[in-house]
């Protein structure tokens, strides 16, 4: 249903081992304990710092992880120590503020880098026996040398749903949304659930209605902190909107020509709402 975007793997190859350690590389640098990304004051790929060694960027890394190659050049996820000051011509930016300003592939690759750094920082010891973990040789994982337990990067699946009724879409406002923004019903999948069951449960819990004809729309990785957003379109079946008062403060049906403030364009929520507006809006009249 979603118009496919060109795969990031046309530009990026997620290999495990760098072929060369001396050639210039792209460095996705995050400040310790934050989602603040170091960028050059340039646009596109030129915004990502490039150097042969991270130390050439003005700091000694806390950790550095090879994450593959981008357009033939090595890429690293790097954690800069607390207090690192950007060099001339660079600045730290919150990754959350960049998803309308940054090339979508680069945003997602920066998200991958951030998640890998967080995983590396929080998986130093085995959760079963407490032994220090070692890197796996053939995949992105850590292996316990004592008990053999494998530890993989954590990914948390979450569903997000565009609910339709009589040509209108259900949009909801959470108290944590800025600028009176309205979005779609979403939530994390629980143990033992299918994605479709999660769609039904989250919708009933948050706005009190039942759904039918649930169908897949598309997906998007979301690195805050480690989500995989899976989008669905569903049709209203029964019930009256009753917000839970916790996750959702307000919810209502909106037509394509009366949409409130909605999420930014890079988010899958916005892509789904834009799809709805295009499908159900009034066709524009061309000049005869």
* Domain boundary residue, one of 107, 122, 137: 122
Task: Mark whether 263 and 191 lie in a shared domain.
Answer: yes
Q: Which residues span the domain enclosing 19?
A: 8-122
User: Among the three residues 99, 122, 145, which one is the final residue of a domain in this structure?
Assistant: 122
- pLDDT computed for residue 99 by the predictor: 80
Task: Examine residue 208 and state whether it is found in any structural domain, yes or no.
Answer: yes
Contact present, 203 and 237 (Cβ < 8 Å): no
Domain identity same for 171 and 149: no
CATH number, residue 187: 3.90.79.10
Residues 241 and 170 in one domain: yes
Distances in Å between the Cα of 181 and the Cα atoms of 165, 172, 252 are: 21, 8, 13
Question: Which residues of the chain carry a pLDDT beneath 50?
Answer: 285-288
Domain shared by 93 and 177, yes or no: no
On whether both 15 and 78 belong to a single domain, the answer is: yes
Whether 99 contacts 110, CB under 8 Å:
no
Query: 138, 154, 170: which is the final residue of a domain?
Result: 154
Instruction: Extract the runs of DSSP E, i.e. beta strands, from 81-155.
Output: 90-94, 134-135, 142-143, 150-151
Residue of 175, 168, 166, 181 lying closest to 269 (CA atoms): 181
Asked if 102 and 48 sit in the same domain, the reply is yes
Calpha distance 84→137 (Å, rounded): 32
Q: Kindly state whether residues 18 and 76 are assigned to the same domain.
A: yes
Q: Check whether residue 35 and residue 131 sit in a common domain.
A: no
Residues with Cβ within 8 Å of 211's Cβ and at least 6 positions away in sequence, in order, are 161, 163, 199, 200, 203, 234, 235, 236, 237
Domain count, the chain: 3
| 179 and 268 belong to one structural domain | yes
The pLDDT score that the predictor gives to residue 288 is 38
Name the binding residues for Zn(2+): 126, 129, 144, 147
Q: Which residues are annotated as a binding site?
A: 96, 126, 129, 139, 144, 147, 152, 186, 202, 206, 220-227, 247, 269
Asked if 113 and 136 sit in the same domain, the reply is no
Query: Residue ranges for the binding site for a divalent metal cation?
Result: 186, 202, 206, 247
174 shares a domain with 135 = no
Do the domain assignments include residue 286? no
Q: Is the residue at 3 inside a domain?
A: no
Tell me the three state secondary structure of residue 161: strand
pLDDT score, position 1: 55
Together in a domain, 174 and 74: no
287: in domain: no
Binding residues for substrate, as ranges, are: 96, 139, 152, 220-227, 269
Q: Indicate the pTM of the whole model.
A: 0.88
DSSP 8-state secondary structure symbol assigned to residue 148: -
Residue whose entry in the numeric block shows the structure tokens 């995949």: 139
């Amino acid at each position: 249903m979603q118009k496919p975007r060109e795969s990031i793997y046309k530009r990026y190859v997620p290999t495990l081992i760098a072929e060369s350690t001396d050639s210039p590389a792209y460095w996705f640098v995050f400040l310790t304990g934050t989602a603040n990304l170091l960028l050059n004051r340039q646009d596109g790929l030129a915004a990502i710092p490039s150097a042969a060694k991270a130390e050439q960027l003005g700091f000694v890394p806390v950790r550095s992880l090879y994450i593959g190659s981008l357009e033939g050049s090595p890429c690293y996820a790097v954690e800069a120590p607390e207090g690192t000051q950007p060099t001339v011509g660079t600045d730290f930016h919150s990754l959350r503020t960049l998803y309308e300003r940054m090339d979508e592939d680069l945003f997602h690759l920066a998200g991958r880098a951030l998640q890998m750094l967080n995983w590396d920082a929080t998986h130093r010891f085995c959760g079963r026996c407490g032994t220090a973990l070692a890197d796996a040789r053939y995949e992105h994982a850590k292996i316990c040398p004592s008990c053999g337990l494998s530890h993989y990067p954590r990914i948390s699946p979450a569903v997000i749903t565009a609910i339709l009724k009589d040509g209108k879409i259900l949009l909801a406002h959470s108290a944590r949304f800025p600028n009176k923004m309205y979005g779609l019903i979403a939530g994390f999948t629980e143990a033992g659930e299918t994605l479709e069951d999660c769609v039904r449960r989250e919708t009933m819990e948050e706005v009190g209605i039942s759904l039918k004809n649930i169908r897949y729309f598309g997906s998007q990785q979301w690195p805050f902190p480690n989500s995989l957003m899976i989008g669905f379109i569903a049709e209203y079946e029964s019930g009256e909107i009753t917000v839970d008062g916790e996750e959702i403060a307000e919810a209502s049906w909106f037509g394509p020509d009366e949409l409130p403030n909605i999420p930014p364009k890079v988010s899958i929520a916005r892509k789904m709402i834009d799809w709805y507006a295009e499908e159900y809006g009034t066709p524009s009249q061309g000049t005869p």
